[in-house]
């Protein structure tokens, strides 16, 4: 990445949590698959957001393994560590340092209105910790440290970019221009893939129903089986319509996997039933994910390379983050590092 003081490309920052076994089809379609294409147009930073995972109790060994797998998945999705800065969040201490400062410029009411805090509190009633409440400040630190212009997010994640902007505006108003104001970057298609069993809900790796979610590392037979069992309706026509959440979701999935439009999908399956369509959808998704899955498996066998990517990414990210952190520390009155 070129020096941001001279480079005119916009800066993109995004991350994905390593919690859970692996990424879902929704993560792949709505996020990481699109990130590789952004490298040609923008200066990109992509991180494994493992600090955010700590708001839910983690098995330490599993978190370390999942963090490595997340790194491998980003590489397999086409993230080039020579074109982009690819790093693990916890290996750049400036994230946690800036998060504490921003905590002090984030209002209690703002945090209490965050949708994900309400959702996660309901799911983890026995562990409503302070980190779960204040993690939007850490997310704001992730974004603002690198003076990001754009943040690729799903449609349901806009709120996190908005609170980062609010915090930046408040800080800039008090101390002068310090942070660039980020904008959400939402893909036009496939930004939100829904559950195969409850299509009114987003596909989630925390769903207790194993048939509701496709994982990127699923075998072909498992992908086909899950899509055959996907909830649709009694109309048995492969066409979109208001209130037809199940078939709308499958058409969106197939169109992306097959590389065609939803309209072309409807034309291709005109006169055919759900059985034919679901089978074709499963095969298309499995074929789309096959080279990705094989690449991840190869990378996980090459720990030396993954270590090299981590080290280089942390160095490059830390160098950029240090500029913003030093400026913020000076403005709020903290003594410089000796």
- Known catalytic residues are 120, 202, 205
Tally the residues of the chain.
Answer: 338
* Pair 168, 139: CB distance under 8 Å: no
172: number of Cβ within 10 Å: 15
DSSP for 241-280 reads: -TT-HHHHHHHHHHHHHHTS-HHHHHHHTTT--HHHHHHH
Closest CA to 23 of 281, 214, 170, 271: 214
* Pair 191, 30: CB distance under 8 Å: yes
Tell me the residue ranges of DSSP E strands in 49-173: 85-88, 150-152
Residue found by looking up tokens 């072909």 in the block:
220
- Tell me the three state secondary structure of residue 184: strand
- Tell me the three state secondary structure of residue 240: coil
CA distance 31 to 36: 10
- Tell me the three state secondary structure of residue 192: coil
Q: What is the DSSP letter of 183?
A: E
């Amino acid at each position: 990445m070129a020096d941001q003081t001279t480079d005119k490309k916009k800066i993109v920052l995004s991350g994905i949590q390593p919690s859970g076994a692996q990424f879902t089809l929704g993560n792949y379609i709505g996020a990481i698959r699109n990130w590789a294409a952004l490298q040609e147009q923008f200066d990109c930073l992509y991180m494994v957001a493992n600090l955010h995972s700590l708001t839910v109790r983690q098995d330490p060994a599993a978190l370390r393994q999942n963090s490595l797998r997340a790194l491998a998945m980003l590489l397999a999705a086409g993230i080039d560590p020579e074109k982009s800065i690819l790093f693990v969040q916890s290996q750049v201490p400036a994230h946690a340092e800036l998060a504490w400062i921003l905590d002090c410029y984030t209002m209690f009411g703002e945090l209490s209105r965050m949708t994900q805090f309400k959702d996660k509190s309901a799911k983890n009633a026995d562990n409503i910790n302070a980190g779960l409440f204040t993690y939007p400040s850490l997310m704001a630190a992730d974004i603002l440290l690198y003076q990001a212009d754009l943040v690729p997010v799903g449609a349901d994640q806009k709120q996190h970019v908005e609170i980062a902007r609010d915090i930046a505006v408040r800080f800039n108003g008090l101390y002068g221009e310090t942070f660039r104001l980020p904008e959400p970057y939402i893909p036009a298609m496939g930004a939100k893939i829904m559950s195969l069993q409850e299509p009114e809900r987003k596909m989630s790796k925390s769903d207790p129903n194993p048939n509701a979610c496709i994982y990127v590392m699923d075998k072909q037979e498992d992908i086909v089986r899950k899509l055959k069992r996907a909830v649709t309706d009694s109309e048995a026509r492969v066409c979109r319509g208001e209130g037809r959440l199940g078939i709308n979701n499958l058409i969106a999935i197939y169109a992306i996997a097959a590389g065609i439009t939803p309209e072309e999908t409807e034309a291709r399956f005109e006169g055919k039933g759900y059985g034919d369509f679901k089978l074709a959808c499963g095969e298309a998704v499995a074929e789309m994910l096959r080279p990705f899955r094989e690449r991840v498996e190869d990378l996980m066998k090459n720990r030396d390379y993954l270590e090299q990517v981590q080290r280089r990414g942390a160095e490059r990210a830390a160098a950029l983050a240090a500029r913003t952190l030093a400026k913020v520390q000076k403005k709020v009155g903290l003594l410089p590092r000796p």
